[in-house]
């Protein structure tokens, strides 16, 4: 008998669905039968949003898109209000929207520090607070905060992104112990995933293809991850199959962190 994870009639809210991990995760939740609410800063007419909506609808579930900047508290309020107005419930929050803010600890300006703190940390806490009453009503409410392998080890120059990604593991613990048993909270820390944000990273090197291949070679699985693989782990961690998991952050990095020296 095969493993069945069924989100039929449940509602998942995912931030940052216009590209990358958020889009891949929306696709996997739709396949699992969930109705999907997504947000990003892009207008509904943007081709990425049309793709998001069509992809979800093609799985026979309902979709709602709300244009919202997660650094703006008022827009977060409207996002949750529209979710409840449309579906009357919320079962899962995937707080995913984020951007690499790679400045370096010596060069980072006050403005970049503030922007990073707002986007990559405070927005997750604010949105979780707004969703809390509805997730508690769900009976099986789950918050998944998207952090990164930078929560556990980092690369020179990736400050202050790595600081906020590390702080998210603390946020996961606090929400789990303060909001349980009504709501489970888990963190997910992907390593290198094939996304536009990682393309930007590879293109910051003189030979992007060589850097990409070098990165692949350093992974025991000899590839980098896909957004759908991250989505699959999100579906599992927020499902009833994972109901004893709370307060912890999972690293999924294709074995990269198991390697002590960069010679392989």
Ligand X SMILES: NC(=O)c1ccc[n+]([C@@H]2O[C@H](COP(=O)([O-])OP(=O)(O)OC[C@H]3O[C@@H](n4cnc5c(N)ncnc54)[C@H](OP(=O)(O)O)[C@@H]3O)[C@@H](O)[C@H]2O)c1
**Which stretches of the chain bind ligand X, using CB under 6 A?**
15-22, 39-42, 69-71, 96-99, 119, 146, 148, 190, 192-193, 195-198
Can you say whether residue 116 is alpha, beta or left, with left for phi > 0 and alpha for psi between -120 and 50 degrees? Answer: alpha
Can you say whether residue 52 is alpha, beta or left, with left for phi > 0 and alpha for psi between -120 and 50 degrees? Answer: alpha
Cβ proximity to ligand X: between 141 and 231 the closer is: 231
First to last CA, the chain: 39
> Within 10 A of 199 (CB to CB), how many other CB atoms are there?
13
CA distance 264 to 257: 13
Nearest 5°: phi and psi at 45?
A: -85, -10
Cβ proximity to ligand X: between 147 and 246 the closer is: 147
> Within 10 A of 130 (CB to CB), how many other CB atoms are there?
20
Catalytic residue numbers?
A: 161
Cβ proximity to ligand X: between 141 and 254 the closer is: 254
Q: Which residue is nearest to ligand X (CB)?
A: 20
Q: How far is the CB of 6 from ligand X (least distance, A)?
A: 26
Cβ proximity to ligand X: between 7 and 201 the closer is: 201
Cβ proximity to ligand X: between 62 and 226 the closer is: 226
Q: How far is the CB of 191 from ligand X (least distance, A)?
A: 6
CA distance 243 to 176: 12
Peptide linkage before 48 cis (omega within 30 of 0): no
Q: How far is the CB of 165 from ligand X (least distance, A)?
A: 7
Q: How far is the CB of 256 from ligand X (least distance, A)?
A: 11
Q: How far is the CB of 244 from ligand X (least distance, A)?
A: 25
CA distance 26 to 35: 9
The string of DSSP codes covering 149-182 is: GGGT---TT-TBHHHHHHHHHHHHHHHHHHHTTT
């Amino acid at each position: 008998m095969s493993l069945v994870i069924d989100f039929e009639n449940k509602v998942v809210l995912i931030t940052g669905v216009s590209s990358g991990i958020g889009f891949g995760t929306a696709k996997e939740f739709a396949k699992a039968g969930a109705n999907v609410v997504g947000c990003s800063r892009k207008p509904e007419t943007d081709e990425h949003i049309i793709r998001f909506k069509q992809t979800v609808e093609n799985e026979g579930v309902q979709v709602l898109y709300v244009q919202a900047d997660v650094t703006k508290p008022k827009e977060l309020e409207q996002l949750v209000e529209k979710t409840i107005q449309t579906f009357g419930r919320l079962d899962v929050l995937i707080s995913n929207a984020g951007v690499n803010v790679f400045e370096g600890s010596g060069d980072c300006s006050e403005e970049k520090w503030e922007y990073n703190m707002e986007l990559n940390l405070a927005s997750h806490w604010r949105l979780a607070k707004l969703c809390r009453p509805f997730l508690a009503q769900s009976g099986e409410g789950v918050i998944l905060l998207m952090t990164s392998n930078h929560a556990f080890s980092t690369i020179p120059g990736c400050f202050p992104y790595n600081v906020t990604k590390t702080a998210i593991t603390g946020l996961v613990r606090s929400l789990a112990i303060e909001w349980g048993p009504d709501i489970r909270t888990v963190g997910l820390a992907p390593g290198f995933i094939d996304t536009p944000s990682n393309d930007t990273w590879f293109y910051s090197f003189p030979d992007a293809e060589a850097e990409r291949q070098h990165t692949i070679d350093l992974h025991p699985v000899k590839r980098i991850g896909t957004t759908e693989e991250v989505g699959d782990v999100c579906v599992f961690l927020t499902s009833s199959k994972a109901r004893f998991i709370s307060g912890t952050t999972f690293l999924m990095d294709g074995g990269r962190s198991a390697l002590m020296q960069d010679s392989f």
